[in-house]
Every structure is written in C-alpha cells, then in structure tokens.
Structure 1
C-alpha cells in the first residue's frame, strides 16, 4: 500500500496503472465513516447484503480480491477528511486496505492524502 500527497495527478496515476495492466477503481473520500463505507460500496458495486461496517468492508474486499482476474488497483482519493474528522475510522479502513494488499499480491492500494 502506498500513500501519496495531495498534489498527485489522479488521471496520470490511473493511466500509469492501466498501462501496467491493472484494472483501476477510484473511491472518493468522505468525512464520515458512513459516507466512506457508502463510497466503497457504490464504487466497487458491493452486494445488497453489505452491512455498512468495517467487518463487512473487509469481507467484501476480500471476496472481490479472490474473484478478480489479473491485477487490480484501488485508489482511495481524499483520505484527509476522514483522517481529520474520524481518525479511528480512517485507521480502521487503512488497516483493512493494508491487509488486503498484503494477503492478495495482485491487489494494489493507493491512498491519496488530500
């Protein structure tokens, strides 16, 4: 998992990942835990049973990683709002993403801290 500063060129980052053969999905950051979980659910098309909690996030991401074909990159853009307003929730999501990338080598995770 890598963390980039706010000055990153998102379009360039996506183009580089695609050129390297990765499917890319961008999750827009939000300032609350609920809004962040909703953003992950919407962007990654989680099933209806998604429980809107960190355990369910971990389960859904793990399932997607196991079922994905080829390389996959999740870009969480706008981490700063949640880090500022709910540091505990931000740390929980970051831990889940870190574990995901460690357990599934084909999954790449990029956090953009803006």
Structure 2
C-alpha cells in the first residue's frame, strides 16, 4: 500500500506512528533529476557496490533490501515536490518502481511525501 502525503499533512505524526508500530523506516530524499534521485537512493539505503545507477538496478536493489530481524520495512520518499514539478517523467517512473516493488513484497510499505 502506498501512502501519499502533502506538505500540509501531519508528516511527523505519520513517521512517529510507523516507528511506534515497529517498522524499519528508511527515508530517501527525492533529488531533482534522474541522476540525483539514483544517488539519493544509493546513499540513503546503503545500496551495494553493484548498484548500477539505472532504473533496472534500482528495482533489483529494492527487491533485495532487507531489514533487521524480519521487521516490516517502510520506505519513505520525501521532498518530492521539486522533482515532480521539474521532471514529472522521472517522478512518475520512481513512483511506478516503488509501487511495483511494494506490490511484490509483503514486508514493504511505501510513503511518498510531496513537500
């Protein structure tokens, strides 16, 4: 399930609730273009050296992303507003990728924050 939040939503309350329910919350800043988006994912998630900084590699890396002790993983893609406005194609591609991987994994939730 994907949760979309805007800049006027109670983002902090949402994150606190996720953590309170025991989720392994990982926050990734959106970036401003394809290159910076892929760099942000690699850095924030500590993706492996084989990560190829392309869409297929992102799908593969997200499929293999693990958590400690089998906890539920909650991926939060934050500050998407600028990317959505500047590069809507990249924004849509990332949302599609995130939702595809979340649909494949029972242990992965997704929050997209547009602020």
Relative to the length of structure 2, the TM-score reads: 0.90
Residue 88 of structure 1 and its aligned partner are, at CA, apart by 1.1
RMSD of Structure 2 on Structure 1 (CA): 1.2
Unaligned runs of 5+ in 1: none
Unaligned runs of 5+ in 2: none
Question: Which residues in structure 2 correspond to 1:1-114 (within 5 Å)?
Answer: 1-64=2-65, 67-68=66-67, 69-114=70-115
8 Å CA contact 2:5–2:11 kept in 1: the answer is no
Deviation by residue 1:7-60 (Cα, 9 ceiling, x = unmatched): 234432221101111000111121111111111110100011111111111000
For 1:30 and 1:108, the matched residues in 2 are separated by 21
Relative to the length of structure 1, the TM-score reads: 0.91
For 1:8 and 1:37, the matched residues in 2 are separated by 26
**Alignment size in residue pairs:** 112
